Amino acid sequence: MKKLNVGLIGAGFMAKAHAMAYATMPMFFWPAPAIPVRKVIADITEEGAKIAAERFGFEKYTSDWRKIIEDPEIDIVDIVTPNDTHAEIAIAAAKAGKHIFCEKPIARTSEEAKKMYEAVTNAGVKNMLAFNYRRTPAVALAKKFIEEGAIGKILNFRGTYLQDWSADPSSPLSWRFQKSIAGLGTLGDIGTHVIDIARYLVGEFDEVVSMMNTYITERPIQEGVVDKLGTVKLEGSVKKGPVDVDDEASFMIKFKNGAVGSIEATRNGWGRNNFLTFEIHGEKGSIFFNYERRDELQVYFADDPVDRRGFRTIYTGPAHPYGEALWPIPALGIGYGETKIIECHDFIKSIIEDVEASPNFEDGYRISLICDAVVKSAEEKRWVKVDFGK
Amino acid sequence: MKKLNVGLIGAGFMAKAHAMAYATMPMFFWPAPAIPVRKVIADITEEGAKIAAERFGFEKYTSDWRKIIEDPEIDIVDIVTPNDTHAEIAIAAAKAGKHIFCEKPIARTSEEAKKMYEAVTNAGVKNMLAFNYRRTPAVALAKKFIEEGAIGKILNFRGTYLQDWSADPSSPLSWRFQKSIAGLGTLGDIGTHVIDIARYLVGEFDEVVSMMNTYITERPIQEGVVDKLGTVKLEGSVKKGPVDVDDEASFMIKFKNGAVGSIEATRNGWGRNNFLTFEIHGEKGSIFFNYERRDELQVYFADDPVDRRGFRTIYTGPAHPYGEALWPIPALGIGYGETKIIECHDFIKSIIEDVEASPNFEDGYRISLICDAVVKSAEEKRWVKVDFGK
Amino acid sequence: MKKLNVGLIGAGFMAKAHAMAYATMPMFFWPAPAIPVRKVIADITEEGAKIAAERFGFEKYTSDWRKIIEDPEIDIVDIVTPNDTHAEIAIAAAKAGKHIFCEKPIARTSEEAKKMYEAVTNAGVKNMLAFNYRRTPAVALAKKFIEEGAIGKILNFRGTYLQDWSADPSSPLSWRFQKSIAGLGTLGDIGTHVIDIARYLVGEFDEVVSMMNTYITERPIQEGVVDKLGTVKLEGSVKKGPVDVDDEASFMIKFKNGAVGSIEATRNGWGRNNFLTFEIHGEKGSIFFNYERRDELQVYFADDPVDRRGFRTIYTGPAHPYGEALWPIPALGIGYGETKIIECHDFIKSIIEDVEASPNFEDGYRISLICDAVVKSAEEKRWVKVDFGK
Amino acid sequence: MKKLNVGLIGAGFMAKAHAMAYATMPMFFWPAPAIPVRKVIADITEEGAKIAAERFGFEKYTSDWRKIIEDPEIDIVDIVTPNDTHAEIAIAAAKAGKHIFCEKPIARTSEEAKKMYEAVTNAGVKNMLAFNYRRTPAVALAKKFIEEGAIGKILNFRGTYLQDWSADPSSPLSWRFQKSIAGLGTLGDIGTHVIDIARYLVGEFDEVVSMMNTYITERPIQEGVVDKLGTVKLEGSVKKGPVDVDDEASFMIKFKNGAVGSIEATRNGWGRNNFLTFEIHGEKGSIFFNYERRDELQVYFADDPVDRRGFRTIYTGPAHPYGEALWPIPALGIGYGETKIIECHDFIKSIIEDVEASPNFEDGYRISLICDAVVKSAEEKRWVKVDFGK
Q: What is the mean pLDDT of residues D68-90?
A: 97
Question: Using CA atoms, how far apart are residues D157 and D161, in angstroms rounded to an integer?
Answer: 13
pLDDT, residue D1, reads: 87
Cβ distance B83 to B188 under 8 Å? yes
- Indicate the residue among B79, B108, B133 that finishes a domain: B133
List of residues 6+ apart from D86 with CB closer than 8 A: D79, D102, D103, D106, D107, D108, D112, D116
**Which of these ranges, B369-378, C164-173, C234-243, has the smallest mean pLDDT?**
C234-243
C45: domain CATH number is 3.40.50.720
Question: Are A206 and A156 part of one and the same domain?
Answer: yes
- Note whether C335 contacts B331, CB cutoff 8 Å: no
pLDDT of D390: 66
Chain C residue numbers touching D213 (CB-CB < 8 A): 155, 260
ipTM of the complex: 0.96
CATH assignment at residue A263: 3.30.360.10
Say what the pLDDT of residue C155 is.
Answer: 98
Q: Which of A49-58, A127-136, D222-231 is least confident? A: D222-231
Do A338 and A237 share a structural domain? yes
Instruction: Check whether D374 has a pLDDT greater than 80.
Output: yes
Please tell me which residue of chain D has the smallest CA distance to B310.
D314
Range of weakest confidence among A222-226, B256-260, D144-148: A222-226
- In-domain check, residue C389: no
D390 is a domain residue: no
What pLDDT, on the 0 to 100 scale, is given for residue A232? 67
Does residue C164 lie within any of the structural domains? yes
The answer to whether residue D387 sits within a structural domain is no
Chain C contact set for D164 (CB, 8 A): 302
At C321-349, the pLDDT tens digits run: 999 999 999 999 999 999 999 999 999 99
Q: In terms of residue numbers, what domain contains A338? A: 135-358+367-380
Do D120 and D128 meet the contact criterion of CB atoms below 8 Å apart?
no
* Residue A224 confidence (pLDDT): 63
Are the CB atoms for A216 and A230 separated by under 8 Å? no
Q: What is the pLDDT of residues D262-279, one digit of tens each?
A: 999 999 999 999 999 999
In a domain, D297, yes or no: yes
Q: Where are the alpha helices (DSSP H) in C129-263?
A: 137-147, 179-182, 186, 192-201
* Phi-psi label, residue A22: left if phi above 0, alpha if psi -120 to 50, beta otherwise: alpha
**Residue A45 falls inside a structural domain:** yes
Which chain B residue is nearest to residue A158, measuring alpha carbons? B264
Asked if A76 and A178 sit in the same domain, the reply is: no
| End-of-domain residue from the set C114, C133, C152 | C133
Give residue C109's pLDDT band: very low, low, confident or very high (50, 70, 90).
Answer: very high
Nearest Cβ partner for A308 among C308, C310, C314? C314
- B293 vs chain C: nearest CA distance in angstroms? 6
Least confident of A13-17, A113-117, B225-229: B225-229
What strands, in cross-sheet order, belong to the sheet with B60-62?
B60-62, B35-42, B3-9, B76-79, B99-102, B127-129
Residues A259 and A203 in one domain: yes
Burial class (CB in 10 A: 0-12, 13-18, 19+), D223: exposed
Flag if B307 and D314 touch (Cβ within 8 Å): yes
- Which residues of C are less than 8 Å from D376 in CB distance? none
Residue C158's pLDDT band, with cuts at 50, 70 and 90, is very high
Backbone angles phi, psi at B93, to 5 degrees: -65, -40
Amino acid A234: pLDDT: 74
For residue C270, give the nearest of D209, D250, D285 by CB distance: D285
Q: Name chain D contacts of B301, Cβ cutoff 8 Å.
A: 308
Task: With H, G, I as helix, E, B as strand and everything else as coil, classify residue C216.
Answer: coil
Does the structure show a pLDDT above 60 at D172? yes
Residue C11 CA: distances (Å) to CA of B323, C14, C43, C57, C80 = 19, 7, 6, 12, 7
Residues A67 and A161 in one domain: no
Same domain, B63 and B121: yes
pLDDT value of residue D222: 79
Does D20 share its domain with D50?
A: yes
- Claim to verify: residue D139 and residue D129 sit in the same structural domain: no
**Which pLDDT band holds residue C1 (cuts at 50, 70, 90)?**
confident
Say whether pLDDT at D226 is over 60. no
User: Model-level pTM?
Assistant: 0.97
Phi and psi based region of residue B291 (left: phi greater than 0; alpha: psi -120 to 50; beta: remaining)? alpha
Measured CA to CA, the distance from residue B109 to residue B90 in angstroms comes to 14
Give the pLDDT of residue D234. 74
pLDDT band at D233, cuts 50/70/90?
confident
pLDDT for position C364: 98
Mean pLDDT computed over D202-231? 85
pLDDT of residue B226: 56
**C62: pLDDT strictly greater than 70:** yes
Chain C residues lying within 8 Å of D250, measured CB to CB:
156, 252, 260, 262
Q: Measure in Å the smallest separation between the Cα of B307 and chain D Cα atoms.
A: 6
C241 and C353 part of one domain: yes
Same domain, B61 and B174: no
What gap in Å lies between CA B49 and CA B69, rounded to an integer?
A: 16
**pLDDT at residue B237 in the model:** 66
Longest dimension (CA), chain D: 66
Which residues in chain A have Cβ-Cβ distances shorter than 8 Å to C308?
299, 301, 312, 314
Select from B99, B114, B133 the last residue of a domain.
Answer: B133
Phi/psi of residue B285, each to 5°? 170, -175
How many domains does one find in chain A? 2
| Residue B390 located in a structural domain | no
Least Cα separation, residue C123 to chain D (angstroms): 42
Coil, strand, or helix at residue C214?
coil
Q: Which pairing describes strands C384-385 and C311-315: parallel, antiparallel, or unpaired? A: unpaired
What's the average pLDDT block by block, 10 residues per block, for chain B (390 residues)?
Answer: 96 95 98 98 96 98 98 98 97 98 98 98 98 98 98 98 95 92 97 98 98 96 66 74 97 98 98 98 98 98 97 97 95 97 98 98 98 98 93
Q: What are the residues of chain C with a beta carbon less than 8 Å away from any beta carbon of chain D?
A: 151, 155-156, 158, 160, 162, 164, 167-168, 209, 211, 213, 215, 248, 250-252, 254, 260, 262, 264, 266, 268-272, 279, 281-286, 288, 300, 302, 309-311, 381-383
CA nearest B319 in C: which residue?
C231
Is D385 inside a domain boundary? no
pLDDT single digits (tens) B20-65: 999 999 999 999 999 999 999 999 999 999 999 999 999 999 999 9
CA distance C196 to chain A (A): 25
Query: pLDDT band for position D344 (50/70/90)?
Result: very high
pLDDT at A51: 97
Contact status, residue C343 vs residue C359, Cβ threshold 8 Å: no
B151 and B298 part of one domain: yes
Q: Which of B380, B290, B369 is nearest to B105 (CA)?
A: B369
Do B231 and B341 reside in the same domain of the chain? yes
Query: D292, D311, D341, D344: best mutation site toward chain A, by most A Cβ within 10 Å?
Result: D292
Neighbour tally for A188: CB within 10 Å: 27
- What is the rounded CA–CA span in Å between residue A74 and residue A93? 10
Q: How much is the pLDDT for B326?
A: 95
Distance CA B108, CA D8 (A): 75
pLDDT band at A17 (very low <50, low <70, confident <90, very high): very high
Reported in sequence order, the residue ranges of D303-370 that DSSP labels E, i.e. its strands, are 311-315
